[in-house]
Chains A and B, each alone.
Chain A
Amino acid sequence: MSTLVYIEIDSISKRYKKATVESLSDVSFSMNVGQTIGVLGPNGAGKTTLISILCGLIEPTKGSVLYSQENGNPISGVDLKKIIGFVPQEYAFYHELTPVQNMNYFGSLYNLSKDEIKEKTNSLLSILGLAHVANKKINTFSGGMKRKVNLAIGLIHNPSVLFLDEPTVGVDVQSKLSIIAFLKGLKDQGTTIIYTSHHLSEAEDFCDEILLISKGEIVANGPTKKLIEENKSSDLQSLFIKMTEAE
Chain B
Amino acid sequence: MKLMASIKKEILLLFSDKVGLSIMFLMPLLLVFIITIIQDSVYKMVNENKVSLIISNQDKGVEGDKLIQLLAASGLFELHEKNELQSQELKDYLLDENQLTALYIPLNFSEKLEEKATQISTTLAFELGISETEQNVPEVALPNLDFYHDPVLQENYSFSITNVIGSFLNVVENELMIESIYAEVGIEKSPDNFKEKIMGNKVVINRIPAKNDEHMINPNSTQHNVPAWTIFAMFFMVVSLGSNIVKERVNGSFLRLKTMPTNYIHILSAKMMVYMMVAVLQFTLIFSIGMTVFPLIGLPKLVLPSAFAAFIVMMLMCSMSAVSYAMMIGALSKTQEQSNGIGAISIIIFAALGGIWVPTFVMPEYLQIISNFSPMHWCLEGFYILFLKGGSWSQLFPVIGFLFIFIAVCQFTSYTKLKLEKLI
Contact = CB atoms under 8 A, between A and B. Distances in A.
Nearest to B8: A105
A96 interface: yes
Interface string A84-106: 10101111111111000100111
A82 B260 CA distance: 7
A174 B402 CA distance: 59
B422 A105 contact: no
B253 A93 contact: yes
B256 A101 contact: no
A104 B6 CA distance: 10
A104 B9 CA distance: 9
Contact of B9 (A57, A90, A94, A137): A94
A111 B1 CA distance: 7
A181 interface: no
B248 to A, nearest CB: 8
Contact of B256 (A88, A108, A111): A88
Interface residues of B, number: 23
A55 B9 CA distance: 25
Contacts of B259: 55-57, 81, 84, 86
B253 A57 contact: no
A90 B261 contact: no
Interface string B224-264: 00000000000000000000000000011101111111100
A173 interface: no
A93 B254 CA distance: 9
Given A56-B259, A96-B16, A97-B13, A90 B252 contact: yes
Interface string A59-100: 000000000000000000010011010101111111111000
Contacts of B6: 105
Given A104-B5, A108-B1, A81 B260 contact: yes
Contacts of A89: 252
A82 B422 CA distance: 20
A177 interface: no
Contacts of B260: 81, 106, 109-110
Contacts of B252: 88-92
Contacts, number: 75
Contacts of B255: 57, 86, 88, 90, 92
Contact of B422 (A58, A104, A109): A58
Contact of A86 (B4, B13, B256, B262): B256
Contacts of B12: 94, 96-97, 101
Contacts of B9: 94, 97, 101, 105
Nearest to B259: A86
Nearest to A77: B261
Contacts of A91: 251-252
Contacts of A104: 5, 8
Nearest to A82: B261
Given A86-B256, A90-B251, A109 B13 contact: no
B258 A109 contact: no
Contacts of A105: 5-6, 8-9
B50 interface: no
B5 A78 contact: no
A92 B261 CA distance: 16
Contact of A92 (B8, B13, B251): B251
B20 to A, nearest CB: 11
Contact of B261 (A57, A86, A110, A153): A110
Nearest to B13: A96
Nearest to A114: B1
Interface in A100-154: 101, 104-106, 108-111, 137, 153-154
B284 to A, nearest CB: 26
20 contacts: A81-B261, A88-B255, A89-B252, A90-B251, A91-B251, A92-B251, A92-B253, A92-B256, A93-B256, A94-B9, A95-B251, A96-B13, A96-B17, A97-B9, A97-B13, A106-B256, A108-B5, A109-B5, A109-B257, A110-B260
Given A55-B259, A109-B262, 15 more contacts: A56-B259, A78-B261, A82-B261, A86-B255, A90-B255, A91-B252, A92-B252, A94-B9, A94-B13, A97-B16, A101-B12, A105-B8, A109-B2, A109-B5, A137-B16
The 10 closest A-B pairs by CB, nearest first: A108-B5, A92-B252, A90-B252, A96-B16, A86-B259, A92-B256, A81-B261, A109-B262, A105-B9, A78-B261
